[in-house]
Amino acid sequence: MRALGIVVPGSLDQRTGGYRYDARMVAGLRARGWRVAVHELDGGFPGPDAEAAAALDAALAGIPDAGGVLLDGLAAGAFPEVLARHAARLRLIYLLHHPLGLETGLAPARSEDLLARERAALGHVQGVVATSAFTAAQVAAWGMPRERLQAIPPGVEARPPATGPAPGAPALLLCVGTVVPRKGQLELVQALARLEAENWRAVLVGARDRDAAYARRVATAIAAAGLQGRIEWAGECDDTTLEGWYAQASVFVLPSVYEGFGMAYTEAMARGLPVIGTTGGAIPGTVPAAAGRLVPPGDHEALAGAIEGLLRDPRGRERMGRAARAAMTERPDWDGAVAALERTLEDWLR
């Protein structure tokens, strides 16, 4: 009853929002007495990929009959035929961060194929845990019954307030996200190139090896705009280094094209940072209107205007930062998120 397998693509300790969500849930369930076995799969994901399919099949085959399994969508969404082989003897629950076919930059045929595969995969599970109400509503629109859907957003931890740059230093614009098209770093550079204000510098935090071609495009845009001295590549940071960047920041900027939730926004708001983002996906439900400014995805002119507006309005930044921090105190913490998952598992695995 309190044993669970969780299936993830690759190592659980990867530093993205989705993996951090999974890892916090694993740690929280274990602290509550659950026996959680993590199955880290080899292969190319989301696939379909023969090695990945074989790894998923082998992991599920090794779980005893009637065992409960939490399937990260990135590991399982493209493999409905694998899930079909195990659905009758295992209790499969799907963890959906955001639909696979909505990743930015996919060719239309690729997007349609992934969406069709994921919808088929959901036909073999007992329920779907989504990381936002927005994503749960998407799945409901696919025909999943509401009683088989549960939205469990990430928890928000109490954080010390950001202190900002040193006196006399320029405002620091902080962007945290893996450097891939969906996160919008290219649009951010294009927006920064349009600014008339001079009192800023920017830091891009996030792995650059997930899409090397895109990372090169961002670097080329920085050089073409002559911004090498004002935009710093910080790469993938450990917790201590990342905390330091949050502490020094003036504004958090992440112009994602789409988010299934957007943990980086809540991390920033917990520190009292005003947020500039977009209206893509679940972001409007994650970032309260009083806490920042949201612009249409891909509109670097509007993004430039939002950034410039906050750079020229320090009192507005302070007001938004206070609203952001206050809003985060009303969100469940990680213990509350784990408790919600535990109740859902106990109900669906009973």
To the question of pTM greater than 0.85 for the whole model, the response is: yes
The SS3 assignment for 77 reads coil
* Confidence tier at 197 by pLDDT (50, 70, 90): confident
40 contacts 56 by C-beta, under 8 angstroms: no
Q: How far is it, in rounded angstroms, from Cα 68 to Cα 90? A: 6
pLDDT at residue 124 is higher than 90: yes
Q: Hey, what CATH topology would domain 3-155+332-349 get?
A: Rossmann fold (3.40.50)
Q: Bigger pLDDT: 22 or 16?
A: 22
Q: Do domains 3-155+332-349 and 171-329 have the same CATH topology?
A: yes
The domains of the chain are located at 3-155+332-349, 171-329
- Domain 171-329 matching CATH 3.30.497.10: the answer reads no
From residue 249, alpha-carbon distances to 98, 104, 271, 331 in Å are 28, 27, 10, 22
* Confidence tier at 196 by pLDDT (50, 70, 90): confident
pLDDT at residue 75 is higher than 80: yes
Please report the sign of the dihedral spanned by the C-alpha atoms of residue 246, residue 249, residue 250, residue 252. negative
What is the reported pLDDT for 203? 97
Say how many C-beta atoms besides its own lie within 10 A of residue 226's C-beta. Answer: 9
- Both tokens of 197, joined, read 């204000």
What is the reported pLDDT for 105? 85
| Average pLDDT of the residues in 16-37 | 95
Q: Bigger pLDDT: 95 or 237?
A: 95
* Confidence tier at 350 by pLDDT (50, 70, 90): confident
The chain-wide mean pLDDT, for the chain, equals 94
